[in-house]
Amino acid sequence: MRKLFERVKRHVDFLIIGSGIAGLSYALKVAEHGKVCMITKSNEDESNTKYAQGGIAAVMYSPDSHEKHVQDTLIAGDGLCDEEVVRMVISESADRIKELIEWGATFDKNEKGEYDLAKEGGHSEHRILHHKDNTGFEIERALLSAVHKHHNIEILDHHFAIDILTQHHLGIEVNSRTEGIECYGAYVLNLRSNKIETVLAKTILMATGGAGHVYSTTTNPVIATGDGVAMVYRAKGRVEGMEFYQFHPTSLYNPGESPSFLISEAVRGFGGILKTVDGKEFMQKYDERKSLAPRDIVARAIDNEMKIRGDDYVYLDCRHLDKSELIKHFPNIYQKCLSLGINMKTDYIPVVPAAHYMCGGIKVDMNGRSNIKKLYAIGECSSTGLHGANRLASNSLLEAVVYAHNAAMDAIEENKNAGFCEEIPDWNAEGTHYPEEMVLMIQSLREVQAIMTNYVGIVRSDIRLQRAFDRLEILYKENEALYLKTTISPKLCELRNMINVAYIIIKHARQRKESKGLHYTVNYPRS
Ligand code: FAD
Ligand code: SIN
């Protein structure tokens, strides 16, 4: 039966899409300057942020220095970081951490009352502030609590952003990805009422996080379907660096569990050692920093060992570490392993790489501005130039708060002269009356994930990318046809978004005729 959507139109000063660290910290900054509406597609705390384990990188004490953090970031980024951005983010790190603490986030301290700084891959110093092994949970909790207290911020949970509004919705086509496009708000599906609302805003922030679910195995929660990147790409926004999808080297090997549980890099920073299933160390063959080399190197090494040996996983060995300190630092990881019969004090932990972080995204300037007027993007969905070809561990939470600040300052100014585009029509549901065909959508999603995992994973080649491109094109055409006639739903939109994002990853990977950071291709090996 045909489903008709009731019309609702909202007017807000600042529209924020996404309630992770990026959206929440931006909201707290702009809220003194106008009405803030934050929409989020699931429970308000469901986000990649909530699952962050290791912590947030910042220079706190000597012998660490800004210069060391800058150099570590540049080295991990394999020559593709924007050095000006790297220096800006790192020089602002302490101020932004101070704000997080003022908003109520707590980080572990040692007996001397100083922050207990951890170490992770690619870092030359201990510089990771953390809250046990669930830092993201603590940050999300504190930010949400601060946001709830602010009278000017409204959070609409279970609201799904379908598309952003541009001239296209006024019947004007803009063909360029570089200029002339303007954003007026978003079409949003209220999942409680099933109404599609038109949210008009003076400025719009995209803070929708990553896209781990384009791959079969990921550490990301189910919300990570690349919606923001896909929406902006469809609206002719610029997207870059999508070939650099980061695989975390050590997710817990537990077939059938999705998302995969992460075994934090901080465990290796604490002394955990990678070994093959016959108990032999192998990282010395690949990098002098061994188990603490940057992620791209470690993930590739594990992938290679598994392939040449025919094993399904490698081991992380913590048995030699101080047992009470191990449990004190990693209580959640310890409990999770124990629940599967693995005692990390006495047993090896089986681990495999899993899709973890989208280094590329919506291209923005130092203030988080995209090429679309009045549209900002920050956090994991953005590409700022900080990460280059490979993100340094624990730099993403930092990037999110630094860009939340910069974007907020810019948007507050932008809002002063901005208005609403009242001519935007309501959502047109005409023709979209077929009930959703779950079997088609589930099968297509599995195919996307299989294509991406088998052909566009840790090791790539021209022929694999060509095959991925050809297969995906079929899925794209099938799904666009389905999208045009089916009653709108989050699953349908997410599938469409994941197909769009997979297409961009493949496109960018095919354009890069070299092995660089996370993009490794056998056709262009490193010299
Ligand atoms: P998210 O926190 O992912 O928030 C995105 C929000 O957008 C969610 O609220 C989501 O529901 C919403 N959303 C998405 N699409 C839509 C839509 N269509 N409509 C409405 N709402 C939408 N980084 C570190 O720096 N240190 C760490 O220790 C660390 N550990 C990690 C561990 C794990 C297991 C994972 C998965 C990631 C980790 N990361 C870590 C990465 C880091 O957590 C993320 O990059 C960061 O939290 C992203 O924040 P964000 O605000 O950009 O996005
Ligand atoms: C981890 O704890 O290993 C995740 C850190 C990160 O992704 O930055």
**What is the DSSP secondary-structure string of 189-243?**
EETTTTEEEEEEEEEEEE-----GGGSSSBSS-TT-S-HHHHHHHHTT--EE-TT
Listed residues 368, 384, 415: the one ending a domain: 415
Alpha-carbon distance of 406 to 96, in angstroms, equals: 11
Which of 268, 295, 460, 471 is flagged as catalytic? 295
Residue 475 lies in a domain: yes
Do 334 and 341 meet the contact criterion of CB atoms below 8 Å apart? no
Residue 420 lies in a domain: no
Listed residues 338, 355, 372: the one ending a domain: 355
Q: How far is the CA of 63 from the centre of ligand 2 (A)?
A: 23
Q: Tell me the three state secondary structure of residue 495.
A: helix
What pLDDT does 178 receive?
A: 67
Alpha-carbon distance of 124 to 113, in angstroms, equals: 23
Q: In this structure, are 409 and 322 located in the same domain?
A: no
Q: Whose CA is nearest to atom 6 of ligand 1?
A: 18
Q: In this structure, are 28 and 144 located in the same domain?
A: yes
CATH of the domain at 239: 3.50.50.60
Identify the nearest ligand to the CA of 135 by its number. Answer: 1
Angle at 383 between CA 404 and CA 49, to 5 degrees: 55
What pLDDT does 430 receive?
A: 79
Q: In this structure, are 141 and 44 located in the same domain?
A: yes
Q: How far is the CA of 210 from the centre of ligand 1 (A)?
A: 6
Residue 131 lies in a domain: yes
What pLDDT does 162 receive?
A: 98
CATH of the domain at 476: 1.20.58.100
Q: In this structure, are 363 and 273 located in the same domain?
A: no
Alpha-carbon distance of 237 to 375, in angstroms, equals: 9
Q: In this structure, are 194 and 98 located in the same domain?
A: yes
What's the token pair of residue 33?
């300057």
Atom of ligand 1 nearest to the CA of 212: 36
Q: How far is the CA of 209 from the centre of ligand 1 (A)?
A: 5
Q: In this structure, are 471 and 402 located in the same domain?
A: no
Atom of ligand 2 nearest to the CA of 356: 7
Atom of ligand 2 nearest to the CA of 392: 8
Do 47 and 19 meet the contact criterion of CB atoms below 8 Å apart? yes
- The dihedrals phi and psi of 333, each to the nearest 5 degrees, come to -65, -40
Q: Tell me the three state secondary structure of residue 505.
A: helix
Residue 446 lies in a domain: yes
Please report, in angstroms and rounded to a whole number, the separation of the first and last CA atoms in the chain.
61
Q: Tell me the three state secondary structure of residue 418.
A: coil
In tens digits, the chain (527 residues) has pLDDT values of: 334 445 679 999 999 999 999 999 999 999 999 999 999 999 999 999 999 999 999 999 999 999 999 999 999 999 999 999 999 999 999 999 999 999 999 999 999 999 999 999 999 999 999 999 999 999 999 999 999 999 999 999 999 999 999 999 999 988 777 678 999 999 999 999 999 999 999 999 999 999 999 999 999 999 999 999 999 999 999 999 999 999 999 999 999 999 999 999 999 999 999 999 999 999 999 999 999 999 999 999 999 999 999 999 999 999 999 999 999 999 999 999 999 999 999 999 999 999 999 999 999 999 999 999 999 999 999 999 999 999 999 999 999 999 999 999 999 999 999 999 999 999 988 777 787 788 999 999 999 999 999 999 999 999 999 999 999 999 999 999 999 989 999 999 999 999 999 999 999 999 999 999 999 999 999 87
Best mutation site among 394, 395, 399 for ligand 2 pocket (most ligand atoms within 8 Å of CB): 394
Atom of ligand 2 nearest to the CA of 265: 3
Q: In this structure, are 161 and 217 located in the same domain?
A: yes
Identity (one letter) of the amino acid at 158? H
Handedness of CA 506, 377, 122, 116 (dihedral sign): negative
Preceding omega of 255 cis (within 30 degrees of 0): no
Alpha-carbon distance of 511 to 505, in angstroms, equals: 10
Q: In this structure, are 216 and 308 located in the same domain?
A: no
Q: Which residues line ligand 2 (CB under 6 A)?
A: 53-54, 264-266, 357, 393-394, 396
Q: In this structure, are 127 and 276 located in the same domain?
A: no
Starting at the edge strand found earlier in the chain, the sheet holding 349-358 runs 245-252, 349-358, 314-317, 273-275
What's CA 272's distance to the chain center, in Å? 26
Identity (one letter) of the amino acid at 316? L
Residue 396 lies in a domain: yes
Partner residues linked to 338 by β-bridges: none
Q: In this structure, are 47 and 99 located in the same domain?
A: yes
Residue 4 lies in a domain: no
- Of 87, 86, 160, which is closest to residue 386 (Cα–Cα)? 86
Domain count, the chain: 3
What's CA 334's distance to the chain center, in Å? 25
Alpha-carbon distance of 108 to 106, in angstroms, equals: 7
What's the token pair of residue 385?
């130039």
Residue 250 lies in a domain: no
What's the token pair of residue 360?
């590329």
Q: Which residue has the tokens 């046809």?
A: 481
CATH of the domain at 310: 3.90.700.10
* 18 burial level (CB within 10 Å; 0-12, 13-18, 19+): buried
Q: What is the DSSP string of 295-330?
A: HHHHHHHHHHHHHHHT-S-EEEE-TTS-HHHHHHH-
What pLDDT does 492 receive?
A: 95
Question: Active-site residue 177, yes or no?
Answer: no
- 292-303: burial string, b at 16+ Cβ within 10 Å, e else: bbbbbbbbbbbb
Q: How far is the CA of 381 from the centre of ligand 1 (A)?
A: 9
Residue 7 lies in a domain: no
Best mutation site among 264, 268, 391, 395 for ligand 2 pocket (most ligand atoms within 8 Å of CB): 264
CB-ligand 1 contact for 357 (6 Å cutoff): yes
Identify the nearest ligand to the CA of 295 by its number. Answer: 2
Alpha-carbon distance of 515 to 353, in angstroms, equals: 19
Do 387 and 395 meet the contact criterion of CB atoms below 8 Å apart? yes
Q: In this structure, are 87 and 196 located in the same domain?
A: yes
Q: In this structure, are 58 and 172 located in the same domain?
A: yes
What's the token pair of residue 298?
């470690």
What pLDDT does 69 receive?
A: 98
Do 443 and 497 meet the contact criterion of CB atoms below 8 Å apart? no
* C-alpha distances out from residue 153 to 22, 195, 336, 476, 496, Å: 15, 22, 36, 38, 30
Angle at 209 between CA 123 and CA 245, to 5 degrees: 55
Domain extent for 341: 255-355
